[in-house]
Amino acid sequence: MISSGTSQNASLLAQPGTVAFLVIFAMGVALFFVFRSMARHLRKVNLAARDEAQERFERERAGAGGGPSADGPPSGGSATGTGT
């Protein structure tokens, strides 16, 4: 029979519930920083794509006017987007 004295002498870190909690908590903290960094990088990419689209629009507008019109779809396309 196992004596009850050995379970009372166990430290808090030797209990599986405590260790599992610390591991999960550390992973949660790491994920918080990873997701925050990812959001920051996605914001930069979104701004860069928006600036590129704005520059392309201004070049097409300043060009010969053969680009897409502001009233409808680009030439050769359909309003439904099916391509037929």
pTM: 0.47
Of 36, 39, 37, nearest to 47 by C-alpha is: 39
Residue 79 contacts residue 72 (beta carbons within 8 Å): yes
* For the chain, domain boundaries: 28-62
- Cα–Cα distances (Å) from 7 to 4, 17, 25, 56, 63, in that order, read 6, 14, 25, 71, 82
Which pLDDT does position 9 carry in this prediction? 53
Q: Per-residue pLDDT tens for 48-68? A: 899 999 999 998 888 855 555
Q: Per-residue pLDDT tens for 12-34? A: 666 678 888 999 999 999 999 99
